Amino acid sequence: MPPRIVVIGSINMDIVIHAERLPREGETVIGSDLRFFPGGKGANQAVAAARLGAETFMVGRVGKDSFGEPLRLGLLQNGIKCDHVIADENAASGTALIIINPQGNNSILVAPGASLNVSPADVDSVAELIRQADALLMQFEIPLDTVAYAAEQAQAHGVLTIIDAGPAKKCPPDLLTKADVLSPNETEAEALVGIPITDLPSAEEAARKFLELGVKNLVLKLGDKGCLVAQEGYIFHCPAFRVSPVDTTAAGDAFTAALGVEMAKGEPLERAVRFANAAGALSTLKPGAQPSMPTREAVLDFLRERDAG
Ligand code: RIB
């Protein structure tokens, strides 16, 4: 039986331009290659979970505008159940402006639109779905009170709860303790515990701070340095796989979804993070957010090649 994953989160249209560098204030920079890709941290994680073999349910909102229906159809084409994707009368579809530099790194500006209307009442409408899930995945592109409420519902029923703390936001410390796994990247971790992460020692210092705040399992994403796993009395570094990225957008989403799918299947954390590192690395080899999410076969082939090499 495939694991059942519920994702409550954002659904965005990504408007992407490649540029040599970001414009400074008052400056116009000429870029190239304008493209539209389906994105949003929630929807990206749902697509990744589905391609990695999970039965996946998306809970979120789009606008009743020209982006809304294509975004919903894209999710359906990936086999994701979208009965709880609401077309919101009162808000635009979430939209992200993304600039990719020549190294494949991105800068993102998000107008969350309808995602800001994902409410505790929306969570109530999927109470039974959450109860029956093997894992609940959430991010910070919907209101934090909704994330907290859904996490409480999932925890009350013993459902594995994973919170990806992106994008960077300050949040009430007790929200961080409502998940089984909290997974920020370096900038998100800095926003949450105030420690800039520049290397492994500073990552370990931040990890210890998260544990002091009551986080149960921290999986700190470190980009090309891999990730750091921290639990009470235990810190473990899992190095990244070396690749040549063309676009790193949504690498963290591929990682979190892969972690969720593997943990929901009962894989131990150390194996799950290695699989997640591979999914994250593979996602950087193609342009766009959802189009770059890898399949399970692709991740397994990649791991076999790396093991053999
Ligand atoms: O994590 C990448 C995503 O962040 C993009 O797809 C964009 O929509 C923003 O939500």
Query: What are the φ and ψ backbone dihedral angles of 34, each rounded to 5 degrees?
Result: -60, 125
The alpha helices in 157-288, defined as continuous H runs, are 173-176, 186-193, 200-212, 251-264, 269-283
- The reported pTM is 0.97
pLDDT at 262 over 80: yes
DSSP assignment, residue 305? Answer: H
Local confidence band at 260 (pLDDT 50, 70, 90 cut-offs): very high
How many whole angstroms separate alpha carbon 48 and alpha carbon 132?
20
Work out the number of other CB atoms within 10 angstroms of the CB of residue 102. 9
For a mutational test of ligand 1's pocket, the pick from 13, 17, 41, i.e. the residue with the most ligand atoms closer than 8 A to its C-beta, is 41
pLDDT at 30 over 90: yes
Q: For CA atoms 86, 296, 245, 237, give the dihedral sign.
A: positive
DSSP assignment, residue 153? Answer: H
Q: How far is the CA of 40 from the centre of ligand 1 (A)?
A: 4
Q: pLDDT of 157-198, one tens digit each? A: 999 999 999 999 989 989 999 999 999 999 999 999 999 999
Per-domain residue ranges for the chain? 4-11+40-92+114-308
* C-beta separation of 75 from 11 below 8 A: yes
Local confidence band at 103 (pLDDT 50, 70, 90 cut-offs): confident
pLDDT at 309 over 80: no
Q: Which residue shows structure tokens 């690749």?
A: 243
Q: What is the rounded average pLDDT of the residues 46-72?
A: 98
pLDDT at 105: 86
Instruction: Return the ligand 1 atom nearest residue 94 CA.
Output: 8
Assigned CATH topology for domain 4-11+40-92+114-308 = UDP-N-acetylmuramoyl-L-alanine:D-glutamate ligase (3.40.1190)
Instruction: Return the ligand 1 atom nearest residue 249 CA.
Output: 2
Q: How far is the CA of 308 from the centre of ligand 1 (A)?
A: 33
Q: pLDDT of 139-153, one tens digit each? A: 999 999 999 999 999
pLDDT at 26 over 90: yes
The residue contributing the CA closest to ligand 1 atom 9 is: 40
Q: Which residues are catalytic?
A: 253
Local confidence band at 104 (pLDDT 50, 70, 90 cut-offs): confident
Classified as helix, coil or strand, 16 is: strand
* C-beta separation of 220 from 206 below 8 A: yes
Q: For CA atoms 52, 272, 251, 283, give the dihedral sign.
A: negative
Burial letters for 258-288: b for 16+ Cβ neighbours within 10 Å, e otherwise?
Answer: bbbbbbbbeeebeebbbbbbbbbbbbbbebb
- Residues at CB less than 6 angstroms from ligand 1: 10, 12, 14, 39-41, 44, 96, 108, 110, 141, 249-250, 252-253, 289
For a mutational test of ligand 1's pocket, the pick from 14, 17, 141, i.e. the residue with the most ligand atoms closer than 8 A to its C-beta, is 14
